[in-house]
């Protein structure tokens, strides 16, 4: 019996992906602290408890809204990074790209909405172009995205040399709307997690994206276009960058291209804690959202503890090293107990 070629290629592609991701997910339930997504959950609960102990009013509905609102840009920045990591690349430009969207949305978008929309759309296209160069040139994406990050910074400084600008009023109305039962930020978080989970785990495109990160050769030989797949990943990331930039504007109500310079490291820390793998193919959208909220809440915790602002820059690096050492210790402990 002859099988349609398309169908065959899909099953061929699906099998290596399914084999690598499914048992890993099952195992995760068995050894809790060692796995990625649960690290994020543990960290989130710990940070949340710490926040409530330090500031009991944070447990109220408005308190939750006030605390979660500023975490949204980090969440969407991390989701953008996640789609790049999913196909096996790194995006060093994500911080300045979001800063640039922040600048555009506090200047051009406020004065001329249609021009603003065009510019933001161009930003997504710029991301697609970045993906095209990475695929065409076959060099590590790090170099291309490092170069791009300075272009974003330069454009941002040229458009707006000093911090300033003003958020469009409609943007503030949209992001400060009152929703039933829970604060709006919670719904945005849940939507971000649910949609990206669906894209990665349930949509056909998600499967192909995982395929590219997992086994490029298999994807190519089963007839999928690697170029189109990579461009889709960069387009998704670009869209999320635009969302993150708009949310930044709504949180800060102004623009500063340099405010986000450490955001790139934050996204990498979130990616690790969220349970993704840098070699590509394996990501956990829900873990990423949880980790992003936890990491940005950590800044509030430090503020409650009256820690000097200078420490904020290092906290992520220290959390990263701490989480890795913990994982390593758990891993060694696991090996030790298995030997007994």
Partner 1 sequence: MKVPDVAVTYKWPTIDFSRLGWAFTLAAAIVLWLIACAISGHLVINLLFDNLILGSFVALVGVGQMVVIASGDGAFDLSIPYVMTLAAFVCAAVSGAQGKNLAVGILAGLGTGLVAGIFNGVLVTGPGLPPIVATLATGYIAYTVVLLMGTQLVVAPSLTRFAQQSWHGLTMVIVVAIVIWTVVALVRGQTPYGLHLHAMGQSRAAAALAAVRVKTMAISTFVISGFLAAIAGILLSGYVGGIYADMATTYLIGSVAAVVVGGTSVRGGESAIAATIFGAITVTLLTTVLELSGAGPGLQDIGEGAVIIIVVTVAAQAQTAR
Q: Binder to partner 1 among 153, 199, 237, 293 (CB under 8 A)?
A: 153
Q: Binder to partner 1 among 170, 203, 278, 333 (CB under 8 A)?
A: 278
Nearer to partner 1, 250 or 266 (CB): 266
Nearer to partner 1, 98 or 247 (CB): 98
Rounded to a whole number of angstroms, the minimum distance from the CB of residue 189 to partner 1 is: 25
Which positions from 295 through 334 interact with partner 1, judged by CB under 8 A? 308, 310-311, 313-314, 316-318, 320-321, 324-325, 327-328
Q: How far apart are CA 275 and CA 111, in angstroms?
A: 41
Kindly write out the interface string for residues 122-141 of this chain, putting x where it contacts partner 1 by CB under 8 A and - elsewhere.
-----------x--xxxxx-
Q: How far apart are CA 105 and CA 16, in angstroms?
A: 42
- 264's CB contacts (< 8 A; 6+ apart) are 81, 91, 92, 93, 94, 95, 96, 149
- Do residues 39 and 275 make contact, with C-beta atoms less than 8 angstroms apart? yes
Rounded to a whole number of angstroms, the minimum distance from the CB of residue 74 to partner 1 is: 15
Q: Binder to partner 1 among 71, 196, 232, 264 (CB under 8 A)?
A: 264
Strand partners, 164: 255
What the block records as the tokens of 126 is 């710029």
- Do residues 156 and 245 make contact, with C-beta atoms less than 8 angstroms apart? no
Q: How far apart are CA 93 and CA 186, in angstroms?
A: 27
Instruction: Reduce the DSSP state of residue 118 to 3 states and report it.
Output: helix
Which positions from 64 through 93 interact with partner 1, judged by CB under 8 A? 90, 92
Nearer to partner 1, 24 or 133 (CB): 133
Nearer to partner 1, 48 or 144 (CB): 144
Q: Is 24 in the site for partner 1 (CB under 8 A)?
A: no
Q: Binder to partner 1 among 154, 170, 176, 227 (CB under 8 A)?
A: 154
End-to-end CA distance of the chain: 53
Question: What would the DSSP string read from start to end of 140-174?
Answer: -HHHHHHHHHHHHHHHHHHH-SSSB----HHHHHH
Sites of contact with partner 1 (CB under 8 A): 90, 92, 133, 136-140, 142-144, 146-151, 153-159, 161, 216-217, 220-221, 262, 264-265, 268-269, 272, 278, 308, 310-311, 313-314, 316-318, 320-321, 324-325, 327-328
């Amino acid at each position: 019996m002859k099988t349609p070629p398309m169908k065959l290629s899909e099953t061929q592609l699906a099998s290596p992906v399914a084999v690598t991701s499914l048992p890993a997910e099952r195992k995760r339930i068995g050894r809790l602290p060692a796995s990625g997504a649960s690290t994020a959950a543990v960290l989130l609960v710990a940070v949340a408890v710490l926040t409530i102990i330090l500031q009991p009013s944070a447990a109220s509905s408005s308190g939750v809204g006030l605390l979660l609102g500023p975490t949204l840009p980090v969440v969407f920045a991390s989701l953008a990074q996640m789609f790049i990591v999913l196909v096996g690349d790194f995006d060093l430009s994500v911080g300045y790209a979001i800063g640039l969207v922040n600048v555009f949305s506090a200047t051009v978008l406020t004065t001329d909405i249609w021009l603003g929309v065009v510019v933001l759309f161009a930003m997504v296209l710029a991301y697609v172009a970045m993906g095209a160069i990475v695929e065409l040139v076959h060099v590590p994406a790090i170099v291309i995205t490092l170069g791009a990050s300075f272009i974003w910074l330069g454009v941002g400084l040229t458009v707006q040399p000093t911090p300033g600008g003003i958020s469009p009023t409609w943007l503030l109305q949209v992001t400060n709307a009152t929703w039933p039962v829970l604060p709006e930020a919670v719904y945005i978080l849940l939507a971000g997690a649910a949609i990206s989970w669906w894209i990665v785990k349930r949509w056909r495109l998600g499967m192909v994206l995982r395929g590219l990160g997992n086994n490029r050769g298999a994807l190519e030989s089963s007839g999928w276009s690697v170029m189109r797949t990579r461009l889709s990943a960069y387009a998704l990331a670009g869209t999320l960058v635009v969302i993150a930039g708009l949310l930044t504007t709504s949180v800060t109500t102004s623009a500063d291209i340099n405010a986000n310079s450490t955001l790139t490291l934050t996204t990498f820390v979130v990616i690790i804690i969220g349970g993704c793998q840098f070699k590509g193919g394996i990501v956990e959208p829900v873990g990423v959202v949880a980790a992003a909220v936890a990491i940005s809440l950590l800044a509030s915790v430090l503020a409650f503890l009256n820690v000097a602002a200078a420490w904020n820059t290092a906290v992520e690096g220290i959390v990263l090293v701490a989480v890795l050492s913990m994982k390593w210790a758990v891993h060694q402990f696991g090996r030790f107990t298995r030997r007994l």
